[in-house]
Amino acid sequence: MRILKTAAELKAFRRELPGEVGFVPTMGALHAAHASLLRRARNENDHVILSIFVNPTQFNNPDDLKNYPKTWDSDLAIAHAEGVDAIFAPTDPNEMYPDGYRYGIVEKEFSKELCGEFRPGHFDGMLTVVMKLLNLVWAERAYFGEKDYQQLSLIRGMVDAFFFHTEIVACPTLREKDGLAMSSRNLRLTADEREKAPYLHRALTTIADASKVRTALEENGFKVEYVVDREGRRFAAAWLGNVRLIDNVEKEARK
């Protein structure tokens, strides 16, 4: 397994690869859901490239960036076990921004809603780095989780708008046994918060009315940003202590 640190190394590595490439972009602190994306990429392509890059331009909150979990040794072990060919992990954030972020992707509608309303600039930063990564990796397929459904939908929109070569593959949300969507940020929950956290998914799937979901979450110690029903899905973001949790479910999953 190769570890690539610069854009130039990644481009050179990619040029020499025969066959089809599956790409899984992440911010590290890998868990079973990331492993499931890697496994799918492995099954559907000749080669798998994983990126681990905590992208500063998508963090609107400096503390969130500073506290983002880093688990390099365990990330390496997971990548190795899933048969990854190369990890692109730039050590210097400037590696992805030789222009100092003068140039970027702008989406003018959906990126302002839901999470975008509470995280200004987040989706433009995310789209910009995904675009750069797609250009560098030039994969046949790139794999994204439905857990970040708004992100997935905006990436699909960008890929269509700019005629990207890469096919975007959506992967279902993986959950802990108690229903909590797996997330790197779950590592930052206290024991008490971890116990409360699965209620987010339970409330989304068992309460019919979105405004009642909000009240129920607030009564259970969550600080709610939004609960919104939109195009057959229900989306929510809420804080437990210092940790922001997001989730979404399909209408059919609701009782």
Nearest approach, Cβ of residue 18 and ligand AMP (Å)? 26
Query: Closest CB to ligand AMP among 128 and 173?
Result: 173
Max CA separation in the chain (angstroms): 56
Q: Is 165 a catalytic residue?
A: no
One-letter amino acid at 87 equals I
Could you say which of 34, 47, 122, 201 is catalytic? 34
Nearest approach, Cβ of residue 151 and ligand AMP (Å)? 6
Which position's Cβ is nearest ligand AMP? 145
Nearest approach, Cβ of residue 212 and ligand AMP (Å)? 25
> Number of C-alpha atoms within 13 angstroms, CB side, residue 148?
21
Q: What share of the chain is helix, strand, coil (3-state, %, to 5)?
A: 45, 20, 35
Residue in 156, 183, 184, 160 with CA at minimum distance from that of residue 170: 156
- Residue 247 burial by CB count (10 A; 0-12/13-18/19+): exposed, middle or buried? buried
Query: Closest CB to ligand AMP among 12 and 32?
Result: 32
Q: Which two tokens stand for residue 226?
A: 């939004």
Nearest approach, Cβ of residue 224 and ligand AMP (Å)? 20
DSSP secondary structure letter of residue 235: E
Query: Closest CB to ligand AMP among 125 and 145?
Result: 145
Query: Closest CB to ligand AMP among 50 and 207?
Result: 50
Nearest approach, Cβ of residue 153 and ligand AMP (Å)? 11
Whether the CB-CB separation of 19 and 46 falls below 8 Å is answered with yes
Query: Closest CB to ligand AMP among 153 and 183?
Result: 183
3-state SS of 151-217 is HHHHHHHHHHHCCCCCEEEEECCCECCCCCECCHHHHHCCHHHHHHCCHHHHHHHHCCCHHHHHHHH
Residue in 140, 146, 116 with CA at minimum distance from that of residue 19: 140
Q: Which residues bind ligand AMP (CB under 6 A)?
A: 26-27, 33-34, 37, 144-145, 147-148, 171, 173-174, 181-184
Known catalytic residues are 34
